[in-house]
């Protein structure tokens, strides 16, 4: 009999403890006049987010199995933003399932969301542009780009900014939205070699064949100029004060093109002086009419 009474008391105690747990889980937290959520609902949301996190990691591993190692980082960045979008959608669905008025949530946060949206408008433009860059592969690390008159070698590509280093070893931070607003020149997308040129004018009456020979000699003698394809000379125009020529040549490293181009100009000046070829200055005829 005593044993039966003890078992009954244990059941009553366990029942009371269980009821306490049930009452605790049923407690509601009011987040506003129209928004109320229980402790049990919060546990459900945490569980759903945890399961979603595991599922997203599995999906990421499956999707990146055949992705080249050098592109996994870029894919991971884009996937990271997609993951947050999934979290938001799952959270809203879960809140609606547990009885939370999602419409009230939107209404309560509408003003805040509008303010944040206006403040982060440029940020969103940068992120969208960054996604485009990573997807269409228009720019790679190591490329030499020119945008808005600035030239640099790309060192790092992020979703918001592109980091490049100029010829002066200065770091250039380019907001990605500038790619949508300006023309982008990728100097090395077709390869590391580029065709460069140096322009010069000579006086009228100069031996143009001699000028061509000296220009080719100046370009070919420079150690930075590639032998294939060969340098070439174009007679570009009959200018106001000069005969205009352009010598074209190929460089292996266009990022430092200003140095061999400067050396070629020095050599052209030396050869022209040696062969008495004049580089004219602009001339104007002034007619004075006396009345």
- Give the per-residue pLDDT at 2: 43
Look over the chain and give the mean of its residue pLDDT values, rounded to a whole number. Answer: 76
- CA distance from start to end of the chain: 144
**Any domain includes 5:** no
pLDDT range class, residue 8, cuts 50, 70, 90:
very low
Residue 148 and residue 112 share a domain? no
Q: Cα dihedral angle (169, 171, 175, 179), rounded to 10 degrees?
A: 10
Residue 179 and residue 200 share a domain? no
**Any domain includes 291:** no
Residue 211 and residue 270 share a domain? yes
Residue 155 and residue 95 share a domain? no
- Give the per-residue pLDDT at 90: 78
Q: What is the pLDDT of residues 192-241, one digit of tens each?
A: 788 889 999 999 989 999 999 999 999 999 998 998 889 999 999 998 88
CATH number at residue 107: 1.10.287
Strands across the sheet containing 184-186: 171-175, 161-165, 150-157, 144-147, 184-186
pTM for the complete prediction?
A: 0.54
Residue 239 and residue 269 share a domain? yes
Range of the domain at 200: 194-274
**Any domain includes 285:** no
Q: Is the confidence at residue 5, as pLDDT, over 50?
A: no
Residue 45 and residue 115 share a domain? yes
The last residue of one of the domains, among 65, 93, 119, is 119
Neighbours of 272 (CB within 10 A): 20
Q: What is the pLDDT of residues 237-247, one digit of tens each?
A: 998 889 999 99
Residue 181 and residue 91 share a domain? no
Q: Is the confidence at residue 1, as pLDDT, over 60?
A: no
Residue 217 and residue 268 share a domain? yes
Q: What percent of the chain has pLDDT over 90?
A: 20
Which one is predicted more confidently, 231 or 41? 231
CATH number at residue 179: 2.30.30.60
**Any domain includes 264:** yes
Return all residues near 140 (Cβ < 8 A) that are at least 6 apart.
Answer: 154, 157
Residue 225 and residue 162 share a domain? no
**Any domain includes 288:** no
What gap in Å lies between CA 227 and CA 40, rounded to an integer? 76
Q: Which of 231, 234, 242 has its CA nearest to residue 267?
A: 231
- Give the per-residue pLDDT at 198: 93
**Any domain includes 61:** yes
What mean pLDDT is predicted for residues 34-50? 72
Q: Is the confidence at residue 99, as pLDDT, over 60?
A: yes
The last residue of one of the domains, among 119, 154, 176, is 119
Q: 62-66, 110-114, 190-194, 258-262: lowest mean pLDDT where?
A: 110-114
pLDDT range class, residue 130, cuts 50, 70, 90:
confident
Residue 200 and residue 225 share a domain? yes
Which one is predicted more confidently, 56 or 71? 56
Q: 2-16, 82-96, 111-125, 164-178: lowest mean pLDDT where?
A: 2-16
CATH number at residue 233: 3.30.70.100
Of all helices (H) and strands (E), which one includes residue 77?
Answer: helix 69-97
**Any domain includes 47:** yes
Residue 88 and residue 150 share a domain? no
Q: What is the pLDDT of residues 142-169, one digit of tens each?
A: 888 888 778 888 888 877 788 888 888 8
Residue 40 and residue 103 share a domain? yes
pLDDT range class, residue 120, cuts 50, 70, 90:
low
Judge whether 94 and 52 are in contact, CB under 8 Å: no
**Any domain includes 169:** yes
What gap in Å lies between CA 151 and CA 145, rounded to an integer? 6
Give the count of domains, the chain: 3
Q: What is the pLDDT of residues 262-286, one digit of tens each?
A: 999 999 999 999 999 998 877 666 7
- Give the per-residue pLDDT at 31: 56
- Give the per-residue pLDDT at 109: 58
- Give the per-residue pLDDT at 234: 94
């Amino acid at each position: 009999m005593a044993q039966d009474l003890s078992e009954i008391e244990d059941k009553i105690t366990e029942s009371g403890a269980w009821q306490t747990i049930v009452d605790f889980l049923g407690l509601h937290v009011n987040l506003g006049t129209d928004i109320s959520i229980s402790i049990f609902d919060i546990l459900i949301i945490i569980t759903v987010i945890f399961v979603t996190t595991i599922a997203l990691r599995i999906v990421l591993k499956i999707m990146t199995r055949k992705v080249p190692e050098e592109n996994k980082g870029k894919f991971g960045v884009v996937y990271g933003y997609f993951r947050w979008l999934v979290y938001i959608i799952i959270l809203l669905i879960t809140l609606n399932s547990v009885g939370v008025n999602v419409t009230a949530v939107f209404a309560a946060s509408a003003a805040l969301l509008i303010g944040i949206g206006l403040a982060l408008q440029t940020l969103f433009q940068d992120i969208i542009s960054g996604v485009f860059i990573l997807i269409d592969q228009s720019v790679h690390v190591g490329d030499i780009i020119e945008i808005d008159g600035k030239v640099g070698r790309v060192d790092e590509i992020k979703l918001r900014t592109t980091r490049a280093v100029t010829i002066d070893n200065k770091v250039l931070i380019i907001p990605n939205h500038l790619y949508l607003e300006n023309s982008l020149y990728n100097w090395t997308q077709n390869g590391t070699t580029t065709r460069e040129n140096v322009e010069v004018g000579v006086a009228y009456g100069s031996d143009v064949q001699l000028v061509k020979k000296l220009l080719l000699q100046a370009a070919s003698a420079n150690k930075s100029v590639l032998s294939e394809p060969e340098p070439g000379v174009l007679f570009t125009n009959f200018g106001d004060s000069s005969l205009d020529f352009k010598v074209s040549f190929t460089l292996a490293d266009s990022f430092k093109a200003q140095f061999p181009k400067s050396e070629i100009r020095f050599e052209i000046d030396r050869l022209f002086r040696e062969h008495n070829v004049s580089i004219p200055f602009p001339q104007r005829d002034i007619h004075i009419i006396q009345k």
